[in-house]
Amino acid sequence: MADIIKLLPDHVANQIAAGEVVQRPASVVKELLENALDAGSTTIKLIVKDGGKALIQVVDDGVGMSATDARLSFERHATSKIQQAEDLFNLNTKGFRGEALASIGAIAHVEMQTKPEEKEVGTHLKMEGSKIVFQEVTVTPKGTSMAVKNLFFNIPARRNFLKSNQVELRHITDEFHRVALAHPTVSFHFYHNGSELFNLPADNYRKRIVNIFGSRTNEKLVPVDEETPIVKISGFITKPEFAKKSRGEQFFFVNNRFIKSPYLHHAVVSAFEGLIKPDTFPGYFLYLEVAPGSIDINIHPTKTEVKFDDEHTLYAILRSTVKHSLGQFNVAPALDFDQDPNLDTPYDFKNKSAVQPKVTVDANFNPFSDTPKKSSSSPTYSYQPKASKNWDSLYVGMESKMGGNEPINSISFESEAITGSIFENEKEVQETVATTFQIRRKYIVTSIKSGMVVIDQSRAHQRVLYEKFLKNSTVKDAVSQQLLFPLTLTFSRAEIHTLKEIKEVLLSIGFIFEDMKEDAITVTGIPLLVTESEVGMILDQLISDYQQEINGESFSQSDILSKTLAKTLAVKTGEILDNQSQIALVNDLFACTDATVSPFNKPVYVTITENDIDKKFI
């Protein structure tokens, strides 16, 4: 048998590695920004075109590279961060695997310009598909400029899996936020298609958060600060009243590296127990500093998942620290009773004795005496009782006015209104009306000719509302209810950008916006089915669902937003419906174009025939 195992060519191996490191344009942004930070940069510029598909460029003012280092940096497993295996357990840098540039160079057109500070000239290098096609000496400022063009140009299948430019830009923005929040002392600039999205000067943690998420964020933040031999925790959490239904502003940083940890997230959420609703999530920006040897960050190619030596202790410390901050800044409720300040004794009266008040009393005064005695030491009081009235005289002549002693049955009353029926036989009409009843505040049961139908009230209402909103957004004939007082809501810049994307669909559904600023919007009209108190919650849910691409990118904005509105406004399980509401819901459901499934493709009702019931009694 011939030998069948062969070594893969380098360009194939690099493309396979690229599938692990580079999943989308945001992955390239993350790797290039981390390389710029490892180079000791103080100012970093990120330039993106067409959601990163056409161009991703990162310009820094770091230490730069020589001509040899520039060429060697695109080789696999070439890195300056580690020299031996032991260095993996004492990492203080971002990139150390030596796979990023090699993977990027295998699937894109890469152009690099770099120069160390001590050199007079730099290096200009071009790479296409793991092959260096151009290299020469050039004049360039100190630092490095990396331009990645035409991502996945040689892997069309991977490029077809990329989403729209707006979706890819959101993922790039998320990665930019994570890197910028972890390094507030570095200045960042972010440009997309020639327009500046972010200009973040070097500052402290709090101002960096405010610069990214808007000025209104400052009032939401509660400081967190705790230092123990195991971990040092700093950062901010948001106040409970600003908890959202979406997992938006939640960031964990360990040794200035963004991580994802459901275990630590549960610790923070449990600290908010009793302060927020069960279906809402608090925001937090928490920075953890631990010994580099106590964590393992090499368990995933993207390095966003880490392992801790002692997770249980870290969980307990983090939970108690968040609870302490909530109580320290009077965010959490306490059992302290308010004391009236009027009852406090001033310091001037501390050693003074009480003085009996001087009151003059006339002991001879008798209020019931006709001629009270006079006293020289007190004023004279006199009391003259008034003559009693003759109450019988008030009723003189009343008998004649009442008509004497007429019997009570002769008194006439106004005739009652006679209400007629438009139906000749009401009993026959009542028999034709379908009877419904509710089971466990979840299901509606109604009868049909062949048996009965059990309907899930929440899913049925979702289907009804979904078709109404979808029709309004398509035909654009939605009716709005004007608010007496305009409603101002605050959002982050990323959320405002998302609202601008879906503004046209929101207008067709029935929303009316007076103004859209960088961190706030003013709502003057809302759809008929929406109450004023639900506007903020609904817009939060709309933004979250649209950013998370509910049901995939193949669905339109109108479809996604109609599903979200239907899900948010539909009757929930546990709500009591009266008989008229049950009948109306059943009639509206079976008037829908597709009453069998909900907007999320779940069954709405089940039919139980008479034969099915008969089989149970056999």
> Tell me: the pLDDT tens digits for 103-126?
888 889 999 999 998 889 999 999
pLDDT score recorded for residue 270: 93
Of the chain, the end-to-end C-alpha distance in Å amounts to 67
- Kindly report which listed range (49-58, 197-206, 216-225, 345-354) carries the lowest average pLDDT score: 345-354
Alpha helices for 343-456 (secondary structure H): 398-401, 426-432
For the chain, the helix, strand and coil percentages under 3-state DSSP, each to the nearest 5: 35, 20, 40
Residues contacting 249, CB < 8 A, separation 6+: 213, 238, 283, 284, 285, 492
Residues contacting 41, CB < 8 A, separation 6+: 60, 61, 62, 143, 186
Tokens of 582: 């049950």
Which one is predicted more confidently, 299 or 490? Answer: 490
**pLDDT of 287 strictly over 90:** yes
**543 close to 521: Cβ distance less than 8 angstroms:** no
DSSP helix/strand/coil, 233 = strand
Tokens of 198: 């972010």
Tokens of 62: 């770091």
Rama region for 235: left / alpha / beta (φ>0; ψ in -120 to 50; rest): left
pLDDT score recorded for residue 81: 61
**pLDDT of 61 strictly over 50:** yes
Residues 527, 507: Cα–Cα separation, whole Å:
9
- Kindly report which listed range (256-260, 448-452, 557-561) carries the lowest average pLDDT score: 557-561
Question: What b-and-e string marks burial along 245-255, b requiring 16 or more CB atoms within 10 Å of the CB?
Answer: bbebbbbbbbb
Structural domains in the chain, sorted by start? 10-200 (3.30.565.10), 205-328 (3.30.230.10), 437-607 (3.30.1370.100)
**Residues 342-363: pLDDT tens digits?**
666 666 666 777 777 777 777 7
- Kindly report which listed range (267-281, 386-400, 599-613) carries the lowest average pLDDT score: 386-400
**pLDDT of 222 strictly over 80:** yes
Tell me the average pLDDT across 586-599. 89
Average pLDDT score, the chain = 80
pLDDT score recorded for residue 399: 56
- Give residue 188's pLDDT band: very low, low, confident or very high (50, 70, 90): very high
Alpha helices for 413-456 (secondary structure H): 426-432
Q: Please count the other Cβ atoms lying within 10 Å of the Cβ belonging to residue 470.
A: 21
pLDDT score recorded for residue 140: 92
- Kindly report which listed range (315-329, 411-425, 600-614) carries the lowest average pLDDT score: 411-425
List the helix and strand counts (H, then E) for the chain.
18, 22
pLDDT score recorded for residue 404: 52
**pLDDT of 62 strictly over 60:** yes
**pLDDT of 416 strictly over 90:** no
- Give residue 429's pLDDT band: very low, low, confident or very high (50, 70, 90): very low
pLDDT score recorded for residue 432: 38
**Residues 462-480: pLDDT tens digits?**
999 998 888 877 776 667 8
Residues 253, 180: Cα–Cα separation, whole Å:
11
Rg of the chain, C-alpha, whole Å:
38
Q: What DSSP string runs through 2-21?
A: -----PPPHHHHHHHHHHHH
**178 close to 33: Cβ distance less than 8 angstroms:** no
Query: Residues of the chain with pLDDT > 90: what percent?
Result: 27
pLDDT score recorded for residue 42: 94
Query: Residues of the chain with pLDDT > 70: what percent?
Result: 78
Residue 463: closest CA among 331, 594, 348, 367: 594
Amino acid letter for position 445: V
Tell me the average pLDDT across 390-394. 58
Most confident of 54-58, 368-372, 398-402: 54-58
